[in-house]
Amino acid sequence: MPELPEVETVRRGLDKWVSGRRIATVEVLHPRAIRRHMPGAEHFAGVLAGRRVGAVMRRGKYLWLPLDDEDALVGHLGMSGQLLMQPADAPDETHLRIRFTFDDDGPQLRFVDQRTFGGLAVSEGGAVLPAELAHIALDPVDPLFVDDAFVDRLRRRRTEVKRALLDQTLISGVGNIYADEALWRARLHGARDTSQLSRPSVRRLLGHVRDVLNEAIGQGGTSFDALYVNVNGESGYFDRSLNAYGREGLPCNRCGSPMRREAFMNRSSYSCPRCQPRPRLAPR
């Protein structure tokens, strides 16, 4: 699942290629791609035609394109969604779901999604912040993120620290990969009780979260396969810089101990058994 760095990379590409342009036509090629737009494909295409796109925005792992009528086009990439800029004469992608053309006859915007877990929808009055995204917390690279409030909220919770990092109502944009990377840097096991962490420890962890996300953004995100690419179809390369995620059995880059993999919420967590010892007691 794309996390904040991957979605931010796509946002920046869209902002460069789509902002300020006026949509001419919209072609919906698969109904699941707009399943969250309840009025259906015809309404989706009709309400977007003729609208000018503003500066592309993001909240956590969601994108939205503000429109000149105060509505917004909201998107989530899901597991395999891609928003690609393509010349009009480029062949259709195998899993092309939605096509946008613009009145300047420039590059098209195409939503491609192999697994169709992602999707687009129009949010009425959502140009500033779509109502559908209002429950999602700010992310730590947002200039409005308040560190002290996050520290206090996390310490009031009695849960495992990795679960807290993945809670999008507490802090958004952090997924499995970047949570493991930040916890490795902070020398914390993901099962540590948040209520037992000191304020300085939480601050250090937040700093590592922010550093990991910014470094990953700078490298275009993490691509383990061809499903995540930027708007130009290029893969990110932060996977070359990973210290924890996916490194089971490899030596820890800090102490040399073999990295371990543990089951976590139907996924996997990766950590160093020496640098990140398991807590004796799990949170109740």
Q: In this predicted structure, what is the pLDDT of residue 234?
A: 78
95 annotated among ligand-binding-site residues? yes
Structure tokens at 78: 């899901």
pLDDT tens column, 120-131? 999 999 999 999
CA pair distance 169, 61, nearest whole angstrom: 12
pTM tops 0.85, yes or no:
yes
Q: In this predicted structure, what is the pLDDT of residue 280?
A: 84
Annotated catalytic sites, by residue? 2-3, 61, 267
35 annotated among ligand-binding-site residues? no
Structure tokens at 11: 């946002």
User: How confident is residue 239, by pLDDT bands cut at 50, 70 and 90?
Assistant: confident
Nearest to 262 by CA among 166, 181, 191: 191
Instruction: Give the number of other Cβ atoms within 10 Å of residue 47's Cβ.
Output: 18
Helix (H) or strand (E) holding 102: strand 96-102
pLDDT tens column, 2-47? 889 999 999 999 999 999 999 999 999 999 999 999 999 999 999 9
Burial class (CB in 10 A: 0-12, 13-18, 19+), 210: middle
pLDDT tens column, 133-150? 999 999 999 999 999 999
State the DSSP code for 123. E
More confident residue, 225 or 231: 231
Residue at 213: amino acid letter: L
Structure tokens at 236: 């990110």
Instruction: Give the number of other Cβ atoms within 10 Å of residue 204's Cβ.
Output: 17
Q: In this predicted structure, what is the pLDDT of residue 231?
A: 84
189 annotated among ligand-binding-site residues? no
Q: How many helices (H) and strands (E) does the chain have?
A: 6, 10
CA-to-CA separations, 31 to 79, 113, 185, in angstroms, rounded: 17, 12, 43
